[in-house]
Structure 1
Amino acid sequence: MTIVLFLLILIGSLSALTAVETRRIEQRYPPDGTRVEIGGGAIRVLERPAEGEERGAILLIHGASGNAADLFVAVSARLSRAGFRVLSFDRPGHGWSDRFGGRDAASPVVQAEALRRAAQKLGVARAVVVVHSLGGLAGLAMALHHPDFVRALVLIAPVSHPWPGGVAWYYTLGAHPWLGPPFCRLVAPPAVRLRMRAAVAGVFAPNRPPRDFIEFTRLPLLLRPLHFRANCEDVAYAAAAVAALSPGYGAIRAPTEIVTGDSDGVVYAHIHSEGLARDIPGARLTTLAGVGHAPHHVAPDRVVGIILAAEQRAAEREAAFATASGVNDLTA
């Protein structure tokens, strides 16, 4: 009886602590930007308008354990100065986006559809799609299932192909239908908080994270139980997702640029980035020396240059198509 009482007190204390911490985090990082209702839920977007005459839209999709602020703080100002409207989305269940889609919520196809619909509600009919890490799966799904929306595709340190081994045990546990909810509420928040700085250092290694990276990217939002569980589900589902998507990469026709670091310790560049360069027709791979898993923060000017090169390739293809169509009209 004493042990049972102790366990009940412990569970109640941890649950109350998580609830208090969740409220504190949400007060510190409120839902700025815009929440776009798309039916069944809302997607949060951070937006930066183009400086001067607008040249088009660029859509940013973050990876695992993050939110829209990650790519936004790294590259949006540079892209805006280059004349582009920049929209950075929280994937469903992350940041301030709702988790919807039922049991398929972790599917990159479902997430790609939700983000595309949100962009279209904001008046974006076509965009250059820029993705990082696990967000690469949503970008690849978008290019496969909505080719008319994706003008060009830029994949930064992407996840894309089957890899040896599984994922860390805590992702599998957090995604478990019965054990996941109590784990994400009682155990994960304090444990992840204690390891957050070390985890960030591991992502950036061998580079150093920018000063105040955790604050600027609002990373503590991940500590909320529902956000953490969505993240676990996405990571745990990734193996099934790459198995389903990767056989179709040869059908992608959007101009594609891939950028990776040669010192990435999070994903296998020789499997994912090199695999995409092999499988996607016309894809170009740039490998940055001495760079880890966060090229957009470590080498933002190089990454922005690659994004602009992708957009230029798209513009040239569109011009060539328009010319060919005009010639065909004249000779019809």
Structure 2
Amino acid sequence: MIVLLSVLALAVLALITQAGVMALQRIYPQQGNTIEVAGAHLNVVDLGPRDADGPAVVLLHGASSNLETMRPLGELLAKHRRVILIDRPGHGWSARDDLRNSTPAMQARIVDEALRKLEVGAAIFVVHSLAGAFGPLMALDYPHRTAGLVMLAPVLYPWPGGAGTYNTIVTTPVIGPLLAFTITLPLGLLLAKPVARGVFAPQAMPDGFIAGSRTPLLLRPREFLANAWELIGLKAAVANQAPRYDAIKVPVVVITGDSDVTVSPARHSRAFAAAVPQARLIVLPGVGHMVQYAAPELVASEIETMIAELGAGPKAAMR
């Protein structure tokens, strides 16, 4: 009887989850265009004047999110610049064929291919949190595509511990997918606000952030699994690539908050700035992980300064 009731409960939760997925996709429809690339398709939003002088600015979001978390900064920049927002593979309205394979190197290749199809030349990459891990790979492996890096609270080095208990469980064979397709969505809807508040701390989470950032899309089973596999593989990936950082040649600005408890400023931003000779480090007092919300004008100013120093004459050649 207990087994029967358990199976029945899981079946009901699976139906609730499927209905929830359909509802979320109606509430938060795709905002952008689909670019087909090898092994994935990407949702891309192109803002600002296409013929703006200087390099385009490409904004890439972190884990457990989508391009909407970078849109406010993007709209600020798009007054004068071509700005490209991308749902990274597996997030938002992008998807990847292999949920388990999402290394920074793979994502850098996919982003490079998408930008080539968009006829974007050398760009300024603005990378937040987990996306910080493949910002350096854009500069190292795709120098023709990278004019400069602006890194916001980036993940760049291995850290003590793992990738979170729930991510470990949800990537376990059999039980992981079972959880993802049954309890993750209803449980996640209850926890979304307190978890997001913790990421913003000590700043207050903006009113309407959960809906405005379309965060509930993360709770769809395939996206949740893609996000978990990405986090599980991240530590080994950054350990492998970190010895290459001193070979970066493009301009780099790193902006972090000294009160960030999500990504350690000392372990990541300070260590990276020490390893990359031309990197400039800005540490914001009293600021947490969501730098682009705490200090958007400063971030935009640093991007504009970098573009000015690069020279805002003829547009970067198309590659």
Shorter-chain TM-score: what band?
Answer: over 0.9
Given the alignment, which residue of 152, 158, 161 partners 1:162?
158
Q: What secondary structure is seen at the aligned counterpart in 1 of 2:93?
A: coil
Tell me the amino acid that sits aligned with residue 142 of structure 1: M
Q: What is the match of residue 29 of structure 1? A: 28
Given the alignment, which residue of 109, 126, 132 partners 1:130?
126
Structure 2 residue 116 is the aligned partner of structure 1 residue 120: yes
Aligned length: 314
Q: What is the match of residue 203 of structure 1? A: 199
Q: What is the match of residue 42 of structure 1? A: 41
Query: Quick one: distance in 2 between partners of 1:109 and 1:79?
Result: 27
Q: What is the match of residue 78 of structure 1? A: 76
Structure 2 residue 287 is the aligned partner of structure 1 residue 288: no
The runs of 5 or more residues in structure 1 that have no matched partner are 320-332
Contact in 1 for aligned 2:256/2:291 (Cα 8 Å): yes
> What TM-score comes out, normalization by structure 1 length?
0.90
Q: What is the match of residue 109 of structure 1? A: 105
Query: Quick one: distance in 2 between partners of 1:110 and 1:136?
Result: 14
Q: What is the match of residue 89 of structure 1? A: 86
Tell me the amino acid that sits aligned with residue 282 of structure 2: T
Contact in 1 for aligned 2:55/2:121 (Cα 8 Å): no
1:281 shift after superposition: 2.2
1:102 shift after superposition: 6.4
> What TM-score comes out, normalization by structure 2 length?
0.94
- Which structure is larger by alpha-carbon Rg, 1 or 2? 1
Q: What secondary structure is seen at the aligned counterpart in 2 of 1:285?
A: strand
Contact in 1 for aligned 2:90/2:99 (Cα 8 Å): no
Contact in 2 for aligned 1:135/1:158 (Cα 8 Å): yes
1:161 shift after superposition: 0.7
Q: What is the match of residue 241 of structure 1? A: 237
CA RMSD of aligned residues (A): 1.7
1:80 shift after superposition: 1.4
Contact in 1 for aligned 2:57/2:125 (Cα 8 Å): yes
Query: Quick one: distance in 1 between partners of 2:271 and 2:187?
Result: 35
Structure 2 residue 210 is the aligned partner of structure 1 residue 214: yes
Given the alignment, which residue of 257, 260, 266 partners 2:256?
260
% identical aligned pairs: 37
Tell me the amino acid that sits aligned with residue 245 of structure 1: Q
Compared CA separation, residues 149 and 271, structure 1 to 2 (3 A): same
1:269 shift after superposition: 0.5
Given the alignment, which residue of 96, 99, 109 partners 1:99?
96
Contact in 1 for aligned 2:38/2:110 (Cα 8 Å): no
Compared CA separation, residues 156 and 308, structure 1 to 2 (3 A): same
1:295 shift after superposition: 1.0
1:40 shift after superposition: 3.5
Query: Quick one: distance in 1 between partners of 2:170 and 2:141?
Result: 29
Contact in 2 for aligned 1:51/1:80 (Cα 8 Å): no
Q: What is the match of residue 58 of structure 1? A: 57
The runs of 5 or more residues in structure 2 that have no matched partner are 315-319
Given the alignment, which residue of 244, 257, 265 partners 1:269?
265
Contact in 2 for aligned 1:66/1:94 (Cα 8 Å): yes
